[in-house]
Amino acid sequence: MASAPSKLYTDDVSLLVVLLDANPFFWSASSLPFSKFISHVISFLNSVLLLNQLNQIVVIATGHNCCDYVYDSSSPASRSVGTGKLSALSVDLLEKLEEFVGRDEKLLKKEPEGSIASSLLSGSLSMALCYIQRVFRSGPRHPHPRILCLHGSQDGPEQYVAIMNAIFSAQRSMVPIDSCFIGAQNSAFLQQASYITGGVYLKPQLLEGTFQYLSTVFGTDLHSRGFLQLPKSVGVDFRASCFCHKKTIDMGYICSVCLSIFCKHHKKCSTCGSVFGQPHSEVASEPNKKRKAGDT
Amino acid sequence: MPQVKIIARNFMDMVAALPAMKLDQLYQNAFICEAILRSLPPLAKKYVIQMLYIEEAVTTKSIEEWVLPDGLSKHKVAIDRLLQLRIFSEAFDRSSGTSYRLNPTFQTNLQKHITCGGVLPREPMPSSITARLPSLEDLAVFALEQWECFLLQLINSTQAEKMTNISPSMMRIFQRGLLTQRDKEPPRLTESGFQFLLMDTNAQLWYIIREYISNSEERDVDSADLISFLLELSFHATGEAYNMNTLTEVQRNTLKDLADLGLVKLQQGRKESWFIPTKLTTNLSVSLTDSSSRKEGFVVVETNFRIYAYSTSKLHCEILRLFSRIEYQLPNLIVGAITKESLYNAFDNGITAEQIISFLQQNAHPRVSERVPSVPENVTDQIRLWESDLNRVEMTPAHFYDEFPTRDVFEAACDFAREYGGLLWEDSKKMRLVVKTDVHMHMREHLRRQRQ
Amino acid sequence: MASAQVIKRAKYKTTVKDPGTAGVLKMAWDRFIFTPNHPNSASNLDVEFRFIKGHKNTKEGSNKPPWLNLTNDQGGSYIFEFESYPDLHTCRDFVGKSIGRSGETPTAASGKTDASLPDEQISTAELELRIKLLRENSELQKLHKQLVIGGILTEAEFWATRKKLLDQESSRKSKQRVGFKSAMISDIKPATDGRTNKVTFSLTPEVILQIFAEKPAVHAAFLKYVPNKMTEKDFWTKYFKAEYLHSTRNAVAAAAEAAEDEELAIFLRNDDILAKEARQKIRRVDPTVNMEADQGDDYMHLPDHGLFRDGGKDIIESQHELYRRTLAHDLNRHAAVVLEGRTVEVELEDTRTVAEALAKLKRVESANEDSDGTANQGILERIARITEIEDLQASHGPPLAPLCIKDPRDYFDSQQVIAVKAPAAEGKKCNLSSREAYGSLRDSISQTKQMGLLNPVVKTKDALQVFNALSHDISRTKYDVGKNPQDSVLDKLPSTTKEQLLHHWTSIQELLRHFWSSYPITSSYLYAKVNRLKDAMSQIYPQLEEIKKSVPAHHKQHVSVLVRQMHQALDAAFQHYDADLQKRSAKSSERPNGYV
């Protein structure tokens, strides 16, 4: 899996799509309180807007049950007046975020069973990519887009397929996915996402200094990335999840027609319906058992 | 005559050239900090942002650590710029080497800006007072008209249909360097004048503003004040009305001049008067950056050397006339052809082939700008070829030396001239050589020394 | 065509190691019969071709004797050793045809066996392609040497997985036909050496064809005079003499020469055939077409229209009109021929055959032109055929089997449902109920709204610490990985170790691919293959261990990580092999003589 070749940009005008983890179950267990975290993030967003008048920021909140746009610097509606304490951006963003959390709660069907539930990362990634596609189609001169995942919740293996699809679509359109992971364990999804798309994956050691991480590493525009060395993650977990039980597996069966992954032998592919070979029938589409190996 | 090259970005050089005291004073204003930050090269911006909350000095080494070998030159440029503008201050320590620290005033201002957002010294007026504000489109039209009218007047006072209110003396200041006038002849554009016309609007604007500021001392206006006012102005929202009574007398006078350039629109209410910034103003701080201007072009060039310019502007027509033969003009279309004669005309006027090509490329119609190349290659090649046709013979003032007493002296003289890069021709058989005039004085010294 | 039967001396062997029974192999169109020399021998064979499902043969140049291996549908095989390779080839071709014939009414099973057991019937073109590929790709060559020459895989097996490579290579060849040059033949400039009065025209078959096409009169004359009346050389000398007269624009001289030489006159006079054709054409022209040139068609400023000869300048008396050809004539005729394209498909060697082929074509065309409709049809067809310009067309993508997902909604819905419902299996305990969790999140948002952002967001101390840590990281990775941060772990290893590892990795992958694709084992052939593969893999296993031991201590960790991956992959294969063997032996107790 080679990372996407980065385009050569002639200027530093950027479109930053931030995926903000707003999963209450994560934040209630996190060592960094959300109020502090959001301060870091808003300051960072302000500093990005400060760098270039044409810079554009879109914030998508990723909840437990849904995701939605909470801020778009290009939309004319977002021009509320800043108070002495807060910039217009923060007023807007916090307002929308509050509404969003309310909506997310209403969608909650049942209590997650005593553990940290994952956020709907696949949804917000797709939304971000849709937005970026719209920008690409807006004309020949558009800002250079990148996605920044500010994520802390654990991976939801059940989202594996959707997330991988989003990652490959980002790779195709050469949109790097940066990830700043503030949770306890590393996120295999985001590691892969950043690796494949040529973005940066970083897990801050000192959460109090989140702003510094954001500004030093993730504030770098795509133009400057041509001249700078950014942190590289050491090991990437390339393991896949199976489609049938959403388990992360080392070795499994792959449908030779649609490349769906299964942890054990099935008679039929649940995705495309191909009939797999029985030990004594000679159907061409027999599943190859293959080891997925990282190309380190 | 030394060649005048007009570079738009040298406005920031002007700021950098301000005395240290004045520069520090400028950084008191958060908006100037922002505008200057935006004017920096991308790498320099990143350095500022990553140092924003570090109040101690950071060693050069730890910054350079991040730079890839390819980016070293960019890194140097960025650091130089930061030092020039006194945003970084340099310190040297024997143990840790050179280190940098962010200008404290600059730092606090930006910190405040990041957490609380910027607050303008004046707020937009409520719509209850300013009943009928022009729409954004109207405003854009106004700005463009005003600016083109000004430009036309600048290059050809007789052509302009209506005159701007800019005083003739001011106009003369602007025209300085762009036009020459020999007694009783109509004024002619100089080389830099032609180059000026081919620049994009923002670059032209900055040229004019620069002239305006450099002339300010003559009008008893402090140039630092003027710079800060202009930069501050660029952060006002386009299309909003701002009350005039928030301004000082000097600022109000300045604003009148700016209105003539199309930067602001002035309106008079029943009691109060206000100004409305146009796109040109808000672009002021944008155009300081490296980002290429993002506006729609209008020119289509065909492989048969025809130019179709979808424009109603008289100015565009005049500009195209500089290097092409205009064949006919329709209400919204100018059709011309690039011919050898028209180009020789342009070259005579000191316009270079590269300038013409970059003008055509920058203003390429959206339909063709998606293509690579946006201007057909055969056309660009031909333009370059025609230009190089003119450069077959190069004239260099030179001096001729002969009758050297010995071969040693002759060879020493040759070596000497070569060292200075002034040797044009030598004939070792007859011991003669030709040397550029620039080196003549040195040469004479050298030969005199040899004789002794 | 091929003879109805083939009789060759051969030795029949039941297995490769069998010394074989000498005898005579007779192949008829539907069966082959082997009669041993020794009448007492038991190996009398009479097999019908429809039972033969595949055939393989040893390659000429390899150190093996010429063997032909015929496999029957029960998995058994007949091996014949011939006396020479030509014998082998004759028989192989015969067998190929016979099987092809009997395969015309194939049963479902036979097709599949063929697929799993690719035969060795390859054309020389394909062979060349393979050799070329091997020569170009040293890695492939190494692999080929190890696996095929080493006897682990057969040639066919090795290439079966690389069909795509072969296809790509072969599809690069262009089918496009070369048209006529657009340069006019009249522009063939005579070369003068300057000293003598000799003028030399150089003539190639290409030019001759073009002359024939453009000048029917010359064509007709050639057919008429050569070689009966004059030699080809004389013919062309005359022709170019005429051409030369034209080019000097000396109509008077031309007329004089024509009077003396009858043959020469043919070349100098206006082409009657052309004139006839032109009249026909004029009749067909749509009279409403506007022929007026516009400004864009202006070529007038080019001197001589850019052409070697200019008809516009001659002013000639009317009596010599006959001997004057206008430039417009030549231009038009040339344009027509070029547009028509090359219609003769003969090797441009013998001028006579070219001339005749062209004549034949003309007759066909004129027959067609009797009815106007067919003529138009013919032109259209020809255009369609000729305008297939491959290098101007977008490349056709590889043929794709469309993926059919029964109902896409099922797929995404199920994803969605699971995403919403299923909680993660592990993680830190969250001791808050959902209401409390949401509540606290909302509180912190409204708290931020009231209090504003943290000021300062980061303490200087923290900021500096983070920055230094990051810078340190960067410098460390730079150091670790060497000068180029893009280098991988492999590049740090000694180059021999690196190469060995890479080579083992590719060969393991190749072996594994073949290994897994042989399952389920349905024939003795596959069984043997799996065994061969397993042996080869178990040989690699200790080699990997050795590499691990041989590397310097500071690389040991990296290497062991890499080697472990390979070991794991191999282990999985061995495990599967053993499990399968057990299952098989349990079954084979019921069927003792199942496989060889």
**Which of A173, A106, A107 has the alpha carbon at shortest distance from A142?**
A173
Q: What is the mean pLDDT of residues A240-261?
A: 78
Contact C475 B53 (CB under 8 A): no
3-state secondary structure of C45: strand
Q: What is the mean pLDDT of residues A230-235?
A: 74
CB contacts of B304 in chain C (<8 Å) are 296
DSSP string, C56-111: EEPPTTSSS--EEEEEETTS-EEEEEESSHHHHHHHHHHHHHHHHHHTTS--HHHH
Share of chain A above pLDDT 90, in %: 26
**Which of B193, B284, B175 has the alpha carbon at shortest distance from B235?**
B284
Q: CB-side exposure of C336: number of CA atoms within 13 Å? A: 16
- Report the 10 Å Cβ neighbour count for C409: 10
Edge-to-edge strand list for the sheet holding B423-427? B398-401, B432-436, B423-427
Backbone angles phi, psi at B242, to 5 degrees: -125, 140
Is A279 near chain C, with CB under 8 Å? yes
pLDDT of residue C4: 64
- Report the 10 Å Cβ neighbour count for C259: 10
Question: What gap in Å lies between CA A91 and CA A89, rounded to an integer?
Answer: 6
Share of chain A above pLDDT 70, in %: 81
Q: Where is average pLDDT lowest: B118-122, B394-398, C498-502?
A: B118-122
Q: What is the interface pTM, i.e. ipTM, of the complex?
A: 0.81
- Report the 10 Å Cβ neighbour count for B49: 23
Question: What gap in Å lies between CA C473 and CA B39, rounded to an integer?
Answer: 30
pLDDT of residue C499: 80
Question: What gap in Å lies between CA B232 and CA B30, rounded to an integer?
Answer: 9
**Residue B1 pLDDT exceeds 60:** no
Would you call C195 exposed, middle or buried from its count of C-beta atoms within 10 A (0-12, 13-18, 19+)? Answer: exposed
Structure confidence at residue A8 as a pLDDT band (50, 70, 90): very low
pLDDT of residue C549: 81
Backbone angles phi, psi at B141, to 5 degrees: -65, -45
CB contacts of C474 in chain B (<8 Å) are 65-66
Question: What gap in Å lies between CA A71 and CA A88, rounded to an integer?
Answer: 11
pLDDT of residue C435: 82
pTM of the model: 0.57
**Residue B121 pLDDT exceeds 50:** yes
- CA A294 to centroid of chain Cα atoms: 21
| Closest residue to A43, CB basis, from B71, B75, B115 | B115
CATH architecture, domain defined by A14-226: 3-Layer(aba) Sandwich (3.40)
pLDDT of residue A286: 38
pLDDT of residue C590: 55
CA pseudo-torsion sign A80, A81, A82, A87: positive
Structure confidence at residue A53 as a pLDDT band (50, 70, 90): confident
pLDDT of residue B285: 65
Fill in the amino acid letter for C218: V
How close is the nearest chain C Cα to the Cα of A98, in Å?
Answer: 6
Contact B49 A215 (CB under 8 A): yes
Contact B65 C456 (CB under 8 A): no
pLDDT of residue A178: 94
DSSP for residue B436: E
Edge-to-edge strand list for the sheet holding A177-181? A67-72, A56-62, A14-21, A144-151, A177-181, A201-202
Q: Which two tokens stand for residue A294?
A: 């990282």
Residue B400 Cα distances to B197, B259, B427, angstroms: 42, 59, 11
Question: What gap in Å lies between CA B418 and CA C519, rounded to an integer?
Answer: 80
**Which of A246, A21, A240 has the alpha carbon at shortest distance from C423?**
A246
Selected residue of A36, A212, A290 to mutate for chain C interface (largest C Cβ count, 10 A): A212
At a CB cut-off of 8 Å and minimum separation 6, what does C345 contact?
A: C357
Backbone angles phi, psi at B40, to 5 degrees: -75, 160
Question: What gap in Å lies between CA A167 and CA B195, rounded to an integer?
Answer: 48
**Residues 208 to 247 of B: which have CB under 8 A from any A CB?**
237
Question: What gap in Å lies between CA A130 and CA A169, rounded to an integer?
Answer: 10
Pair type for strands A144-151 and B58-59: unpaired
Q: Where is average pLDDT lowest: A18-27, A55-64, B38-47?
A: B38-47
**Residue B87 pLDDT exceeds 50:** yes
Q: What is the mean pLDDT of residues B233-251?
A: 81
Question: For A162-220, what is each residue's pLDDT tens digit?
Answer: 888 899 889 888 899 999 999 887 888 888 889 888 899 998 988 889 999 999 999 99
Is A207 near chain C, with CB under 8 Å? no
Sorted by where each begins, the domain ranges of chain A are 14-226, 239-296
CB contacts of C423 in chain A (<8 Å) are 112-113, 115, 117-118
Structure confidence at residue A146 as a pLDDT band (50, 70, 90): very high
CB contacts of C463 in chain A (<8 Å) are 209, 211-212
Backbone angles phi, psi at A187, to 5 degrees: -100, 120
Contact B53 C463 (CB under 8 A): yes
Residue of A nearest to B66 (CA): A229
**Residue B253 pLDDT exceeds 50:** yes
pLDDT of residue C312: 42
CB distance B440 to B447 below 8 Å: no
First-last CA distance in chain C: 39
pLDDT of residue A140: 64
CB distance C49 to C100 below 8 Å: no
Residue C101 Cα distances to C97, C106, C418, angstroms: 6, 10, 56
Question: Between A and B, how many residue pairs show a Cβ–Cβ distance under 8 A?
Answer: 106
Q: Which two tokens stand for residue B196?
A: 């000026």
Average pLDDT across chain B, whole number: 81
Q: What is the mean pLDDT of residues B216-230?
A: 80
C→B contacts (Cβ < 8 Å), by residue, are: 296, 452-460, 463-464, 467-468, 471, 474-475, 478, 485
Question: For C446-460, what is each residue's pLDDT tens digit?
Answer: 888 888 787 788 888
CA pseudo-torsion sign B159, B162, B167, B173: negative
**Residue B412 pLDDT exceeds 50:** yes
CB distance A216 to B47 below 8 Å: no
pLDDT of residue A176: 93
Pair type for strands C6-13 and C21-27: antiparallel
C506, β-bridge pairs: none
CB contacts of C456 in chain B (<8 Å) are 53, 111, 115
CB contacts of C160 in chain A (<8 Å) are none
A69, β-bridge pairs: A60
Share of chain B above pLDDT 90, in %: 10
Tell me how far apart the 2 most distant CA atoms of chain B are, in Å: 94
C257 vs B76: which has the higher pLDDT: B76
CB contacts of C562 in chain A (<8 Å) are 296
Would you call B405 exposed, middle or buried from its count of C-beta atoms within 10 A (0-12, 13-18, 19+)? Answer: exposed
| Closest residue to B54, CB basis, from C452, C464, C478 | C464
Structure confidence at residue B204 as a pLDDT band (50, 70, 90): confident
pLDDT of residue B431: 87
Question: Between B and C, how many residue pairs show a Cβ–Cβ distance under 8 A?
Answer: 39
Specify which of A161-170, B198-207, B345-354, C83-92 reaches the highest per-range mean pLDDT. A161-170
Q: For helices B353-362 and B377-390, what crossing angle results, to 10°?
A: 160
Pair type for strands A14-21 and A144-151: parallel
Question: What gap in Å lies between CA C167 and CA C130, rounded to an integer?
Answer: 11
Residue A73 Cα distances to A121, A271, B367, C350, angstroms: 22, 40, 29, 78
SS (H, E, C) A27-42: HCCCCCCHHHHHHHHH
- Report the 10 Å Cβ neighbour count for B440: 16
**Which of C582, B294, B103 has the alpha carbon at shortest distance from A144?**
B294
Question: What gap in Å lies between CA A126 and CA A162, rounded to an integer?
Answer: 9
DSSP for residue A119: P
pLDDT of residue B449: 86
Phi-psi category of residue B98: left, alpha or beta, with phi > 0 → left and psi -120 to 50 → alpha: beta
pLDDT of residue C449: 84
Backbone angles phi, psi at C13, to 5 degrees: -130, 140
First-last CA distance in chain B: 37
pLDDT lower than 50: segments of chain C: 1-2, 103-119, 289-319, 394-429, 481-487, 592-596
A147, β-bridge pairs: A17, A177
CA pseudo-torsion sign C501, C503, C509, C515: negative
Question: What gap in Å lies between CA C143 and CA C566, rounded to an integer?
Answer: 17
**Residues 90 to 129 of A: which have CB under 8 A from any C CB?**
90-91, 94-95, 97-98, 101-102, 104-105, 108-109, 111-118, 120, 122-123
The residue behind tokens 């802390």 is A152
**Could you give the domains of chain B?**
8-116 (1.10.10), 127-286 (no CATH), 299-390 (no CATH), 398-451 (3.30.70.2610)
| Closest residue to C460, CB basis, from B56, B114, B116 | B56
CB under 8 Å, gap of 24 or more: what pairs does B60-66 form? B60/B97, B60/B98, B60/B99, B60/B100, B61/B96, B61/B97, B62/C467, B62/C468, B62/C471, B63/B100, B63/C471, B65/A229, B65/C471, B65/C474, B65/C475, B65/C478, B66/A228, B66/A229, B66/A230, B66/C471, B66/C474
Question: For B277-303, what is each residue's pLDDT tens digit?
Answer: 888 887 776 655 444 445 567 899 999
pLDDT of residue A234: 63
Structure confidence at residue A70 as a pLDDT band (50, 70, 90): very high
3-state secondary structure of A257: coil
pLDDT of residue B92: 86
Residue of A nearest to C444 (CA): A35
